[in-house]
Structure 1
Amino acid sequence: MKKVAIVTGANSGMGLATTIELAKQGFHVVMMCRNEEKGLRALKDAISQSQSSSIELIQGDLGSFESIRNFASAFQTKSEHLDVLINNAGVVTVKRELTSEGHEAQLGVNHLGHFYLTQLLLNELQRATQGRIIVVSSGAHKWGKIDIQDMEMSRGYNVAKGYGRSKLANLLFMQELTSRLEGTNVTINAVHPGAVSTNLGINRKTEFGRIFVNLLKPFFLTPTQGAQTAIHLATSNEVASISGKYFYQMKEDTMSKLAQNPHLAKGLWLWSEQQINKSI
């Protein structure tokens, strides 16, 4: 039976590089992309570079709970199992923006969207021989803080604080889900990809930030280099029994103390569930 993987944010950067490499390794890869037009271009590119026709695009916007539900439903009509879920997509918003449900966009997309998507696909992951969830976090989590009383950052929004908070949330989600998956065939681990040259930080509508990112490109890893640890976690037998760990450059790394706080992880989980339940 062919292994199946979903890669979120697969139309560019590390998401596209991950899609290509997994397809090369024989996976059937589902690309989750917000923009269908860009997704179709990326699909064509991925098929060409991987020399595999076992790649498909399903449109899905992590900033909309309805869109996430539609994506999951579309996937479930085509596949009964899911071997690998790579929660890769991410946004950086210089100004405070909101998702469809009114959540601060960096937390809403980077954490809440992936939280909900993962919940909806847990049954398919458990039907795999061994399901693996890979969360793309960042070293930026180390400056992140979470105030459950002001999750929408309605006071004093700051892009760096917002991004760090969303990446901390990724790790707290991993910690809590690790305990909930104990005794199952599903593992979850997180990745710090390093400083990678991607479209992160470029405004999706205005292209603001493109010149700055292009100037810095020579100093960054390529998307293919940045994707290597996630691919390792998705495919290697060496990590088959490992869960709840944070990896950098293919090795286990240390998370901040806040990221290891079980009470904060549980509090964030409960808040996240409440936000989803409001939308149903």
Structure 2
Amino acid sequence: MTPGTMEGKVCLITGATSGIGLESARALARQGATVVLSGRDKGRGEAALAEVRRTVPDARLDLLLADLTSLASVRQLAQDFQARYSRLDVLLNNAGLILDRRKVTPDGFEATFVTNHLSHFLLTNLLLEQLKASGASRVVTVSSEAHRFVPLDFLDDLQAERGSYSGTQVYGKSKLANILFTRALARRLAGTKVTANSLHPGVVRSGFGLNSEGIFKHLVKLASPFMLSAEGGARTSVFLASSPEVEGVSAKYFIRSKVAREAKTAQDDAAMETLWRKSAELTGVG
């Protein structure tokens, strides 16, 4: 992207202290945007700011801490952002989690579901008026091709309480939820200048998946030499956040910066509305 094309824009990125989130922050800062990085750990966050400044010395950066397994923390993130910034041009819902054992958060939610979908549903809704007030703003949500292998009956078991726990299946369900959420959001944004799109970043060589303890962690390590770099994985996110080519484009799913056809399950309007309703009930937003 051309340097300076995001001058005057403000971007908020979740999961921005490593991997494709960090590389997305670097790329958008290089284009002149003010980039707000969100992560859980202050030390890692400050290290991420220093790493971006190493290659973009004049980068305009900020750090806001949030734990996306906690809805209270997500609400605090939205409040902290609104206290510091009067506009939001890009919300990049990037943070992701995969586990090989079921973990329940203090709120009582399954950890992968709340981190990958529910927290982003809540954050987006809390910042929606700010996005609308900022004009042609964009909501970009990182999904995955893993969404293709999940049946729609996941809507009856959002917390993965039934049967044996499969981390890859639960992850795939959350990624299907990302696309259904994006399509439902785009429908609600019709008539505004705000767009919502989702994407598959590619199979990326980053720290993702290394927090698991079982076979998935070892598979990630074995496959690492054949994966995209984090910089490569960030390209579609950055394209959707900043390219004039997608101005006004909404409700689409992208791979390699091109519109792709999502699975039929992700095109189900009834499922889309059911997920929105259930997510709204769980988070207390409309």
Q: TM-score, normalised by structure 1?
A: 0.94
Distance verdict in 2 for CA 1:225–1:100, change over 3 Å: same
Aligned residues: 277
The counterpart of 2:112, out of the listed 106, 129, 137, is 106
Q: Tell me the residue number matched to 1:38.
A: 44
The counterpart of 2:254, out of the listed 243, 247, 252, is 247
* Counterpart-to-counterpart distance in 2, 1:184 and 1:167: 26
* Counterpart-to-counterpart distance in 2, 1:262 and 1:271: 14
Q: Which moved more, 1:28-37 or 1:48-57?
A: 48-57
Please give the secondary structure, in 1, of the residue aligned with 2:114: helix
Superposition deviation, residue 228 in structure 1? 0.5
Q: Tell me the residue number matched to 1:118.
A: 124
The counterpart of 2:15, out of the listed 3, 9, 17, is 9
Superposition deviation, residue 128 in structure 1? 1.4
Distance verdict in 2 for CA 1:96–1:62, change over 3 Å: same
Q: Which moved more, 1:224-233 or 1:96-105?
A: 96-105
Residue 47 (str. 1) matches residue 28 (str. 2): no
* Counterpart-to-counterpart distance in 2, 1:261 and 1:39: 38
Q: Which moved more, 1:195-204 or 1:259-268?
A: 195-204
Q: Which moved more, 1:146-155 or 1:253-262?
A: 146-155
* Counterpart-to-counterpart distance in 2, 1:148 and 1:252: 26
Q: Is the 8 A contact 1:202 1:208 kept in 2?
A: no
Deviation string for 1:42-81 (max 9, x for gaps)? Answer: 1111121222341111001111111011111111011111
Query: Superposed, which structure 2 residues align to 1:202-221 within 5 Å?
Result: 202-203=210-211, 213-221=220-228
Q: Is the 8 A contact 1:30 1:56 kept in 2?
A: yes
Q: Is the 8 A contact 2:94 2:142 kept in 1?
A: yes
Query: Superposed, which structure 2 residues align to 1:170-209 within 5 Å?
Result: 170-203=178-211
* Counterpart-to-counterpart distance in 2, 1:209 and 1:153: 18
Q: Is the 8 A contact 1:63 1:105 kept in 2?
A: yes
Please give the secondary structure, in 2, of the residue aligned with 1:189: strand
Query: Superposed, which structure 2 residues align to 1:89-168 within 5 Å?
Result: 89-145=95-151, 146-155=153-162, 156-168=164-176
Q: Is the 8 A contact 1:81 1:126 kept in 2?
A: no
* Counterpart-to-counterpart distance in 1, 2:180 and 2:273: 8
Q: Is the 8 A contact 2:32 2:59 kept in 1?
A: no
Q: Is the 8 A contact 1:172 1:259 kept in 2?
A: yes
The counterpart of 2:263, out of the listed 256, 268, 278, is 256
Deviation string for 1:9-64 (max 9, x for gaps)? Answer: 00100000000000000000000101222111111111212223411110011111
- Segments of 5+ residues of structure 1 without an aligned counterpart are none
* Counterpart-to-counterpart distance in 2, 1:7 and 1:187: 16
Q: Tell me the residue number matched to 2:4.
A: none
Residue 67 (str. 1) matches residue 66 (str. 2): no
Please give the secondary structure, in 1, of the residue aligned with 2:196: strand
Superposition deviation, residue 222 in structure 1? 0.2
* Counterpart-to-counterpart distance in 2, 1:149 and 1:172: 15
* Counterpart-to-counterpart distance in 2, 1:84 and 1:140: 25
- Segments of 5+ residues of structure 2 without an aligned counterpart are 1-6
Q: TM-score, normalised by structure 2?
A: 0.92
Superposition deviation, residue 210 in structure 1? 6.0
Deviation string for 1:202-239 (max 9, x for gaps)? Answer: 117x7997665344221000010011111111111110
Superposition deviation, residue 201 in structure 1? 1.0
Q: Is the 8 A contact 1:24 1:51 kept in 2?
A: no
Superposition deviation, residue 149 in structure 1? 2.8
The counterpart of 2:230, out of the listed 223, 235, 240, is 223
